[in-house]
Amino acid sequence: MESYPARLHHETPGWVKPGSLFHVRIRLEKDAPFQFTDEAVAGTLLSAARMYHEPKKWHVHLFLIMPDHVHAMLSFQADTAMSEVVRNWKRGTTRMHGVKWQENYFDHRLRTDEEAAKTWIYIRRNPVVKGLCEAEDDWRWWWSGTQGDGGALCR
Protein backbone atom coordinates (compact mmCIF):
# COMPACT_ATOMS: atom_id res chain seq x y z
CA MET A 1 0.00 0.00 0.00
CA GLU A 2 1.36 3.40 -0.98
CA SER A 3 1.67 5.90 1.85
CA TYR A 4 0.72 9.55 1.62
CA PRO A 5 3.46 12.16 1.91
CA ALA A 6 3.81 13.77 5.31
CA ARG A 7 3.84 17.20 3.67
CA LEU A 8 2.46 18.63 0.49
CA HIS A 9 5.02 20.44 -1.61
CA HIS A 10 3.75 23.59 -3.24
CA GLU A 11 6.22 23.70 -6.07
CA THR A 12 4.90 25.68 -8.99
CA PRO A 13 5.79 23.87 -12.22
CA GLY A 14 8.27 25.68 -14.45
CA TRP A 15 5.73 26.00 -17.25
CA VAL A 16 3.37 28.11 -15.13
CA LYS A 17 3.76 31.74 -16.19
CA PRO A 18 5.13 34.20 -13.62
CA GLY A 19 2.33 36.28 -12.17
CA SER A 20 -0.25 33.48 -12.47
CA LEU A 21 -3.18 33.82 -10.10
CA PHE A 22 -3.73 31.34 -7.27
CA HIS A 23 -6.54 30.73 -4.79
CA VAL A 24 -4.83 30.08 -1.45
CA ARG A 25 -6.56 28.96 1.75
CA ILE A 26 -4.69 28.88 5.07
CA ARG A 27 -6.30 27.40 8.19
CA LEU A 28 -5.97 28.30 11.84
CA GLU A 29 -4.74 25.50 14.12
CA LYS A 30 -7.69 23.72 15.73
CA ASP A 31 -6.55 24.48 19.29
CA ALA A 32 -5.83 28.16 18.66
CA PRO A 33 -6.88 30.43 21.58
CA PHE A 34 -8.79 32.88 19.36
CA GLN A 35 -10.61 33.22 16.07
CA PHE A 36 -9.32 35.30 13.19
CA THR A 37 -12.37 37.53 13.30
CA ASP A 38 -11.47 38.86 16.75
CA GLU A 39 -11.16 42.60 16.11
CA ALA A 40 -7.44 42.92 16.85
CA VAL A 41 -6.44 39.70 15.10
CA ALA A 42 -8.34 40.40 11.87
CA GLY A 43 -6.92 43.91 11.60
CA THR A 44 -3.35 42.72 12.09
CA LEU A 45 -3.76 39.93 9.53
CA LEU A 46 -5.08 42.35 6.92
CA SER A 47 -2.20 44.70 7.71
CA ALA A 48 0.26 41.81 7.41
CA ALA A 49 -1.22 40.90 4.01
CA ARG A 50 -0.81 44.50 2.90
CA MET A 51 2.77 44.58 4.23
CA TYR A 52 3.64 41.74 1.84
CA HIS A 53 1.69 43.34 -1.00
CA GLU A 54 3.33 46.77 -0.89
CA PRO A 55 6.93 45.60 -1.46
CA LYS A 56 5.61 43.11 -4.06
CA LYS A 57 6.40 39.91 -2.16
CA TRP A 58 2.96 38.87 -3.40
CA HIS A 59 0.15 40.66 -5.18
CA VAL A 60 -3.17 40.56 -3.33
CA HIS A 61 -6.13 40.44 -5.66
CA LEU A 62 -8.39 39.48 -2.74
CA PHE A 63 -7.70 38.61 0.91
CA LEU A 64 -10.65 37.62 3.10
CA ILE A 65 -10.63 36.49 6.72
CA MET A 66 -13.05 33.91 8.08
CA PRO A 67 -13.16 32.81 11.75
CA ASP A 68 -10.86 29.81 11.24
CA HIS A 69 -9.15 30.39 7.89
CA VAL A 70 -8.18 32.97 5.32
CA HIS A 71 -8.92 32.93 1.60
CA ALA A 72 -6.67 34.78 -0.79
CA MET A 73 -6.32 35.29 -4.50
CA LEU A 74 -2.61 35.93 -4.95
CA SER A 75 0.02 36.16 -7.63
CA PHE A 76 3.77 35.96 -7.03
CA GLN A 77 6.98 37.35 -8.48
CA ALA A 78 8.87 35.12 -10.90
CA ASP A 79 12.00 35.04 -8.74
CA THR A 80 10.31 33.80 -5.52
CA ALA A 81 8.52 30.52 -4.88
CA MET A 82 4.93 30.70 -3.66
CA SER A 83 5.73 28.20 -0.89
CA GLU A 84 8.56 30.39 0.40
CA VAL A 85 6.44 33.55 0.44
CA VAL A 86 3.47 31.87 2.19
CA ARG A 87 5.78 30.10 4.67
CA ASN A 88 7.55 33.37 5.56
CA TRP A 89 4.24 35.23 5.94
CA LYS A 90 2.88 32.52 8.23
CA ARG A 91 6.10 32.56 10.30
CA GLY A 92 5.95 36.32 10.64
CA THR A 93 2.34 36.37 11.80
CA THR A 94 3.13 33.56 14.24
CA ARG A 95 6.10 35.41 15.72
CA MET A 96 4.56 38.87 15.78
CA HIS A 97 0.91 38.08 16.53
CA GLY A 98 0.85 34.59 18.06
CA VAL A 99 -1.18 33.05 15.23
CA LYS A 100 -1.11 29.25 15.31
CA TRP A 101 -1.47 28.02 11.74
CA GLN A 102 -2.20 24.50 10.62
CA GLU A 103 0.73 23.03 8.79
CA ASN A 104 0.58 23.61 5.05
CA TYR A 105 -2.13 25.31 3.00
CA PHE A 106 -4.38 24.76 0.00
CA ASP A 107 -3.57 26.33 -3.35
CA HIS A 108 -5.17 26.15 -6.78
CA ARG A 109 -4.00 27.95 -9.90
CA LEU A 110 -6.80 29.95 -11.53
CA ARG A 111 -6.38 29.27 -15.23
CA THR A 112 -8.94 31.58 -16.83
CA ASP A 113 -10.56 34.94 -16.19
CA GLU A 114 -13.89 33.13 -15.79
CA GLU A 115 -12.45 30.82 -13.12
CA ALA A 116 -10.93 33.84 -11.35
CA ALA A 117 -14.27 35.69 -11.41
CA LYS A 118 -16.12 32.66 -10.00
CA THR A 119 -13.50 32.25 -7.28
CA TRP A 120 -13.77 35.94 -6.37
CA ILE A 121 -17.55 35.55 -5.97
CA TYR A 122 -17.14 32.32 -3.98
CA ILE A 123 -14.69 33.95 -1.57
CA ARG A 124 -16.71 37.16 -1.12
CA ARG A 125 -19.93 35.14 -0.55
CA ASN A 126 -18.29 32.78 1.94
CA PRO A 127 -19.23 34.84 5.05
CA VAL A 128 -22.83 35.13 3.78
CA VAL A 129 -23.13 31.40 3.08
CA LYS A 130 -21.73 30.62 6.56
CA GLY A 131 -24.35 32.91 8.14
CA LEU A 132 -21.84 35.47 9.42
CA CYS A 133 -23.46 38.43 7.66
CA GLU A 134 -26.43 39.29 5.44
CA ALA A 135 -24.55 40.52 2.36
CA GLU A 136 -20.98 40.54 1.04
CA ASP A 137 -20.60 44.25 1.73
CA ASP A 138 -21.53 43.69 5.40
CA TRP A 139 -18.36 41.63 5.93
CA ARG A 140 -15.56 43.95 6.95
CA TRP A 141 -12.60 41.54 7.08
CA TRP A 142 -11.38 41.65 3.49
CA TRP A 143 -9.03 43.69 1.37
CA SER A 144 -8.10 43.92 -2.28
CA GLY A 145 -4.91 45.42 -3.65
CA THR A 146 -6.58 45.74 -7.06
CA GLN A 147 -9.90 47.37 -6.06
CA GLY A 148 -8.95 50.42 -4.09
CA ASP A 149 -8.86 49.79 -0.38
CA GLY A 150 -11.51 47.05 -0.20
CA GLY A 151 -12.96 46.15 3.17
CA ALA A 152 -11.87 46.76 6.74
CA LEU A 153 -8.74 48.76 6.12
CA CYS A 154 -10.68 51.67 4.67
CA ARG A 155 -13.59 51.68 7.14
CATH for 137: 3.30.70.1290
The answer to whether position 139 is within a domain reads yes
Q: What is the mean pLDDT of residues 20-35?
A: 88
The answer to whether position 109 is within a domain reads yes
Whether the CB-CB separation of 114 and 18 falls below 8 Å is answered with: no
Whether the CB-CB separation of 108 and 82 falls below 8 Å is answered with: no
Q: What is the mean pLDDT of residues 15-43?
A: 82
Domain of 123, in residue numbers: 21-154
The answer to whether position 5 is within a domain reads no
Q: What whole-number distance in Å separates Cα of residue 34 and Cα of residue 152?
A: 19
Query: If you write DSSP's letter for every residue of 59-105 in order, what string do you get?
Result: EEEEEEE-SSEEEEEEEE-TTS-HHHHHHHHHHHHHHHH---BPSS-
The answer to whether position 11 is within a domain reads no
- Number of structural domains found in the chain: 1
- Of residues 149 and 74, which shows the higher confidence score? 74
Helix (H) or strand (E) holding 57: none
- Of residues 29 and 147, which shows the higher confidence score? 29
pLDDT tens per residue, range 82-106: 999 999 999 999 999 888 999 999 9
The answer to whether position 55 is within a domain reads yes
Structure confidence at residue 78 (pLDDT) = 80
Q: Which residue, among 67, 77, 65, has the nearest Cα to 143 in the 3D structure?
A: 65
3 pLDDT tier (thresholds 50, 70, 90): low
- The model's pTM is 0.84
